[in-house]
Amino acid sequence: MQNRLIGRLFRNRFFRIFLTLLVLSMIGYLATSEFSKFMLYRSGIDSIQSMDLEQAFEELQSLYKLDPEYRDVALQLAWTVDEILTLGMDNLDLQHNVDILRWLTSTQDWEALATALDQSMVLIPAGEFEMGSDQGDYDERPQRRIDLDAYEIDRYEVTNLQYQLFLLSTGRRSPQYWTGTDFPPSTHDFPVVGVSWEDAEAYCQWTNKRLPSEAEWEKACRGNQGNLYPWGDTWHPDKANVGLDIANLWPEGFEDAWELLSVSERDSELPSIMPVGSFISGVSPYGVLDMVGNVEEWTVDWYNPSSYQNMPQKNPLTLEPKWAHSIRGSGWVYRHGVENWVSKWSRCSSRNASHSFSHARVGFRCARSY
């Protein structure tokens, strides 16, 4: 019975036409797919030969996502990234810079990832900028023009992976949410937190860098046009990893933040630190990322609420009173994360301070005189 039905189908003219078209379309699809992969591969190899490494990375990565087993695409991609790191990350397009970090994380090439992160610094040119705010808190006044020498600053906040290498080399203490010298699983490219000012300063010195001054941090954040936020003068919480509307989620208080840092499975309803460079749309005018959200950041200055009143115009640095160090930027979580409160602390000119103990939302980035 079944064979007779199949026979009738094949004797049906319209069914034979339909079947023929289906086979031809499948052949066409496979041919087109293979041709597309071939063209991506050929174009990637041509880009390598002309040393257009950014283009080669983009094309070969696209091919790898389509078919990771295609010819020797994995080897060609690895060679391209290695060559980019040899030449340095400085001049890469911002999107390619972040894409390379994500690629190295996905391939678990931790040595190369640490190199890429260390190399990712941004040159801030010498010159004046508007520091402080006459509309801000008392400690931000008066706003005035400040002149800084040229310097470089890390494009990204210092990550768990980088800090782990420092601990293994120096034997310094680990953050309290780590297990020995191991950070929580799958957080290699997350910013380290729970680091005291002394720990942060020691790390920067270990890398032949230093902590930025408050003035250097603020200029890197707002540019020389006086932006309120890195991206401009309008608050956009979607441009940064900031904890909003979470008061009802934490009945036990802020100490729960340490537990959130330790979990390997992230709950989308709860705040979390995110990989560095996750918010490209929040980039500063100079190309620095995560200056709002993710983690608050240590600076080299001692905090003085009235220091702006007598601030020198050239390369200012607050050296006293020696009771707490200045912190800049906003973090990944706030106990009462209402938007107007978080947006206030996310302004480039906003100032905060802490004593030298560790804190669940404080990390850092490094700078270097140019």
Range of the domain at 65: 1-88
Residue with tokens 């800084």: 148
Per-residue pLDDT at 129: 97
Taking CA 98 as the corner, what is the angle to CA 97 and CA 102, rounded to the nearest 5 degrees? 120
Is the same domain home to 225 and 287?
yes
Give pLDDT, residue 358.
Answer: 82
Same domain for 146 and 186? yes
363 within domain boundaries: yes
pLDDT in tens, 76-115: 999 999 999 999 998 899 999 999 999 999 999 999 999 9
The last residue of one of the domains, among 41, 73, 88, is 88
Indicate whether 23 and 138 sit together in one domain: no
pLDDT on residue 78 = 93
Give me the pLDDT at residue 9, please.
Answer: 46
Tokens representing 137 are: 């808190």
Type of residue at 211: L
Judge whether 359 lies within some domain: yes
Q: Are residues 225 and 337 in the same domain?
A: yes
Ranges of residues in the chain whose predicted pLDDT is under 50: 9-10, 24, 28-31, 245, 251
Condensed to tens digits (0 to 9), the pLDDT of residues 202-255 reads 999 999 999 999 999 999 999 998 999 999 999 998 999 987 545 555 545 556
Q: How far apart (Å, rounded) are the C-alpha atoms in residues 340 and 361?
A: 19
Strand spans (E) along the chain: 121-124, 127-131, 144-148, 151-154, 296-302, 325-328, 352-354, 362-363, 367-369
Task: Outline where DSSP puts E strands in 47-104.
Answer: none
Contact predicate 311/144, CB 8 Å: yes
User: Residue 248's pLDDT is what?
Assistant: 52
As given in the structure block, the two tokens for residue 178 are: 């780590």
Separation of alpha carbons 17 and 21, rounded Å: 6
Cross-strand pairs, 151? 124, 369
Task: Name every residue whose Cβ is closer than 8 Å to that of residue 39 and which is 6 or more positions away in sequence.
Answer: none
What pLDDT score does 83 carry? 95
The 8-class DSSP code of residue 285 comes to T
Q: What integer pLDDT is reported at residue 30 of this predicted model?
A: 44
Return the pLDDT at 35: 77
Q: Number of structural domains, the chain?
A: 2
Place of tokens 């103990």: 357
Distance CA 214, CA 364 (A): 12
For residues 337 and 282, state if they share a domain. Answer: yes
The CATH number for 145's domain is: 3.90.1580.10
Q: Are residues 181 and 276 in the same domain?
A: yes
Q: Which of 31, 65, 88 is the last residue of a domain?
A: 88
From the number of C-beta atoms within 10 Å of its C-beta (0-12, 13-18, 19+), residue 55 rates as: middle
Q: Residue 102: inside a domain, yes or no? A: no
CA distance 153 to 84: 20
Q: Cα 24 to chain center, whole Å?
A: 47
Q: Are 345 and 330 in contact (CB under 8 A)?
A: yes
d(CA 22, CA 29): 10
- b/e per residue 29-45 (b: at least 16 CB within 10 A): eeeeeeeebeebbebbb
pLDDT at 29: 45
Q: Same structural domain for residues 306 and 355? A: yes
Judgement on whether residues 38 and 171 belong to the same structural domain of the protein? no
Residue 205 lies in a domain: yes
On whether residue 94 sits in a domain, the answer given is: no
Same domain, 167 and 74: no
* Residue 162 and residue 30 share a domain: no
Do 296 and 213 belong to one domain? yes
* In-domain check, residue 225: yes
In a domain, 328, yes or no: yes
CB-based burial of residue 83 (10 Å sphere; 0-12 exposed, 13-18 middle, 19+ buried)? Answer: middle
**Are both 53 and 164 inside the same structural domain?**
no
For residue 182, list its beta bridge partners. Answer: 179
